[in-house]
Amino acid sequence: MKFPAQFQVLEEQKKLVVDRQFAAPVNRVWDAWTQADLLDQ
């Protein structure tokens, strides 16, 4: 995989942190991860 993901579980804070690089502009990646219509695809 060109850009492997790093996962960190913060159990006390009930969080999952995902660190991954994307070959795309930040705003397009953020939209893909946060907009419901894109998530359903």
The residues, any chain, with a CB within 8 Å of residue 9's CB and separated by 6 or more, are 15, 16, 17
pLDDT at position 23: 84
pLDDT at 19: 92
* pLDDT tens, the chain, 41 aa long: 677 899 999 999 999 999 988 788 988 888 887 877 766 66
Q: Are 16 and 8 in contact (CB under 8 A)?
A: yes
